[in-house]
Amino acid sequence: MRESKRKNWWLACLSAFIFCSFNPSWAQMHINMGEDSPLRKLQIAELAVSNLYVDSVDERKLVEDAIRGMIEKLDPHSSYATPKEVQQMNEPLNGNFEGIGVQFNMIDDTLLVIQPVTGGPSERVGIIAGDRIVSVNDTAIAGVKMSKEEIMRRLRGPKDTKVRLGVVRQGISERLMFTVMRDKIPVKSIDAVYMISPEVGYIRIGNFGATTHEEFLKALDKLSDQGMQHLILDLQENGGGYLQAAVAIANEFLSKGDLIVYTDGLRTPRQEYRARGEGQFMFGRVVVLVDEYTASAAEIVTGAIQDQDRGEVVGRRTFGKGLVQRPIDLPDGSMIRLTVAHYYTPSGRCIQKPYVKGKQKDYQMDVVNRLRHGELTNQDSIHFADSLKFETLQRHRTVYGGGGIMPDHFIPLDTTRYTNYHRQLAAKSIIIQQNLRYVDNNRQELKKKYKTFDKFKSHFNVPQQLIDAIVAEADKQGVKPKDDAEFQKTMPYLRLQLKALVARDLWDMSEYFAIINEESDAVKKALELLVEP
Alpha-helical runs (H) found in 461-516: 464-476, 484-506, 509-516
Told to judge if 520 belongs to the known catalytic residues of this protein, a careful annotator would answer no
Each residue's pLDDT tens digit, 323-351: 998 889 988 888 999 999 999 999 999 99
**DSSP sequence for 371-426:** HHHTTTT-GGG----GGGEEE-SSS--EEE-SSS---SEE----TTTS-HHHHHHH
Each residue's pLDDT tens digit, 143-185: 888 888 888 888 888 889 999 999 998 878 889 899 999 998 8
pTM of the model: 0.83
Q: 405 versus 102: which is more confidently predicted?
A: 405
Which whole-number Å values give the CA distances from 464 to 130, 420, 471, 498, in the listed order? 22, 21, 10, 11
Lowest mean pLDDT among 20-24, 188-192, 353-357, 466-470: 20-24
> What was the pLDDT predicted at 14?
42
**DSSP sequence for 6-17:** HHHHHHHHHHHH
d(CA 195, CA 27): 53
CA atoms within 13 A on the CB side of 122: 26
Within 8 A by CB and 6+ apart from 172, the residues are none
Q: Which of 131, 234, 291, 321 is catalytic?
A: 321
CA atoms within 13 A on the CB side of 304: 28
Q: Are 328 and 335 in contact (CB under 8 A)?
A: yes
For residue 266, give the 3-state DSSP assignment: coil
Q: 489 versus 83: which is more confidently predicted?
A: 489
Q: Which of 189, 296, 334, 510 is catalytic?
A: 296
Q: Which long-range contacts (CB under 8 A, 24 or more apart) does 513-520 make?
A: 513/191, 513/192, 513/194, 513/202, 513/204, 513/234, 514/192, 514/194, 514/196, 514/453, 514/457, 515/457, 517/196, 517/202, 519/493
Told to judge if 189 belongs to the known catalytic residues of this protein, a careful annotator would answer no
> What was the pLDDT predicted at 17?
43
Within 8 A by CB and 6+ apart from 11, the residues are 43, 47
For residue 327, give the 3-state DSSP assignment: strand
> What was the pLDDT predicted at 124?
86
Q: Which of 75, 191, 258, 307 is catalytic?
A: 307
Q: Are 438 and 466 in contact (CB under 8 A)?
A: yes
Adjacent-strand bridge partners of 139: 136
d(CA 253, CA 281): 5
Told to judge if 484 belongs to the known catalytic residues of this protein, a careful annotator would answer no
Within 8 A by CB and 6+ apart from 226, the residues are 195, 201
Each residue's pLDDT tens digit, 303-329: 999 999 999 999 999 999 999 988 899
